[in-house]
Amino acid sequence: MLQRLFIRDFVIVERLELEFAGGFGALTGETGAGKSILVDALSLALGERADASVVRLGAEKAEVSAEFEVAPASALADWLAANDFETDVCLLRRVVDAGGRSRAWLNGTAATLAQLREVGDFLADIHGQHAHHQLLRSDAQRVLLDAHAGTTALARSVAEQHAAWRKAREARQRAEQDIEATAKERELLEWQVKELAALGFDPQTWQETEQEQRRLAHAASLLEASEAALAVLDEGELPALGSLQHASGRLTELTSVDPALNDAAQLFESALIQLEESALALRRYRDRLDLDPARLGELDARIEAVTQMARKHRVTPDALPELQMRLQTRFDELSLATDPSALAEREQAAEKRYLESARQLSKERQGAAKALSQAVTAAMQELAMVGGRFEIALTPLEVGASSGLEAIEFLVTANAGQPPRPLAKVASGGELSRIGLALQVIASQSHAAGTLIFDEVDVGIGGRVAEIVGRMLKQLGSDRQVLCVTHLPQVAACANWQWSISKENREDLTGHATFSRVTPLDAAGRVEEIARMLGGVKITDTTRQHARELLGN
């Protein structure tokens, strides 16, 4: 159930904080006062797309927050837990800035519009002003039947399986048509994959190979430099280490004569130690240095082979493993593509899965169609269409489609003794309104949402029919929350509670502006509002008395 709605700087709403009650609530007011804006704001919180036009003129951003009650152990609570959201409350928040950029939160955590729409299926079922006319479309009729039958998820699965079947069929057909070209490509790929496999390229080994090749390629220069340094230090005709060792000894002796020489002597001795260690390191390096032309030749050949392979495929050497994997994947695909029998088996398996699900969908649709037809026909008798009949025709298709094995069409006859014909061809505007409203009310009874919203769906009806519609909505509100935007006093009088939406003109920072205001009505206020709806501009005692009678009834 919707508990609270906060709206700020949305269209002509400056700021509204609303707390909702259960049962059947009516939202009334003059045309253009902003009744449907409340529904639009709630739709925004539930994930509808938005642009900068929803931001009130002169404001930086529009903000809508909607708080819903969460019943313990409900499907909504399970969904929130499964998606790592808090489960004690369901708070949706949406912000749209003046540039049209939108952000969304669910229970204080950033959320996507897809998540808002998904959780919205548990929260509210909104029937808009043009819902009746949408029922003239075959796809809308199918969606409504599936929603009433509880087969929406199954229908989605059937569509996915049909797409998989179609894809498998197209793959088999392509294989049959292009088998020669496919075989040539497969032959080339097989040779390329074998060539790369024979190369045996490994990124880590490749780095080690490059390092060893650089060392061997410069071995002569490295050896020459090492021996030259050793000749200067310790192995030449005039080794420097001997002279330096003698000088160090003299300095150390003379420190006893003049202690001021001590620092210089210590530094000299430290440098001498470093040079002696350098000479030892150079000897070890020289002894290990390998002048191996044969090994160098092997490494050069390896590097040349890898480089040529990479150049051939226009990639870097490091990308060769990924290339080999990609070619192998394509080779495996073509191996299947050159075997039409295997593709045919896969196509048959996909067709079988589709048909099993589609037949189950047809079975459930047939049961729901019969029940919905009977319920709408019964409602038509109450809605001043005595003798009328509503049927849902399920016509088998020659070839299964993504929507299932049958075409779905709503048929209606407004008068007894006449055969039913397609809804789009026989229903007048008033009849369409009544049939559409009956469909929506009955279908809503099977909807899981705890809040049902009807936005001026009673357009085109009046008088006794309007009162019957009001009673239908009141009965619907006995076990869930029902909100109805209406211009009909007979409908509003049946509500458990009523709000009046009005607009006012006043000055703001942008100049003269229009704002929407919501006023909860007490008993006296409801009399005045329903009297206004009955009598127009001038409200008389007679219209007030009529309003009291409507409320009393």
Residue 38 within any structural domain of the chain: yes
135-190 pLDDT tens trace: 788 888 898 899 888 898 899 999 999 999 999 998 888 777 666 666 677 778 87
Q: Name every residue whose Cβ is closer than 8 Å to that of residue 234 and which is 6 or more positions away in sequence.
A: 240, 241, 242, 279
CA dihedral 378, 384, 387, 391 (to 10 degrees): -50
> What pLDDT score does 442 carry?
81
Specify the pLDDT at position 54. Answer: 92
Residue 51 within a domain = yes
The predicted structure's pLDDT at residue 331: 79
What is the value of pTM for the model shown? 0.61
Cα Rg, the chain, nearest whole Å: 42
Give the pLDDT confidence of 437-485 residue by residue, as tens digits. 788 778 777 666 788 888 876 676 777 888 888 888 888 888 889 999 8
According to DSSP, residue 55 is labeled B
Domain membership of residue 65 (yes or no) is yes
Determine the average pLDDT of the residues in 518-543: 88
CA-to-CA distance for 394 and 400, rounded, in angstroms?
Answer: 13
pLDDT of residue 65: 95
Nearest CA to 438 among 417, 416, 456, 458?
458
- Is 511 a residue whose pLDDT tops 60? no
Angle, alpha carbons 529-533-538 (nearest 5°): 90
Closest CA to 296 of 213, 223, 222: 213
Q: What is the DSSP string of 345-369?
A: HHHHHHHHHHHHHHHHHHHHHHHHH
Residues 6+ apart with CB under 8 A from 405: 355, 358, 359, 361, 362, 396, 397
Query: What pLDDT score was predicted for residue 539?
Result: 84
187 occurs within a structural domain: no
Of the listed ranges 122-136, 186-200, 262-276, 496-510, the one predicted with least confidence: 122-136
- The answer to whether residue 164 sits within a structural domain is no
In a domain, 75, yes or no: yes
Question: What pLDDT is stored for residue 64 in this prediction?
Answer: 95
Indicate the number of domains in the chain: 1
Say if residue 211's pLDDT is above 60. Answer: yes
64/95 Cα distance (integer angstroms): 7
Average pLDDT value for residue range 84-93: 89
CB 44 within 8 A of CB 50: yes
| Measured distance between the N- and C-terminal CA atoms of the chain, rounded to whole angstroms | 27
3 state SS of 426: helix
What does the pLDDT look like over 228-279, one tens digit per residue? 787 788 777 777 888 888 888 888 888 888 888 888 888 988 888 898 888 8
User: Average pLDDT for residues 349-353, to the nearest whole number?
Assistant: 94
Quote the crossing angle between the two packed helices 179-199 and 152-177, to the nearest 10°. 90
Summarize the confidence of residues 349-361 as an average pLDDT: 95
Residues with Cβ < 8 Å from 338, sequence gap 6 or more? 175, 179, 182, 183, 186
Range of the domain at 506: 1-22+29-127+448-462+478-487+494-521
Q: Which domain CATH number covers 74? A: 3.40.50.300
Tell me whether residue 94 is in a domain: yes
The reply to whether 330 falls in a domain is no
| Bridge partners (DSSP) listed for residue 515 | 504
Closest CA to 472 of 432, 434, 527: 434
The secondary structure of 214-263 as a DSSP string is HHHHTHHHHHHHHHHHHIIIIISSS-HHHHHHHHHHHHHHHTTT-GGGHH
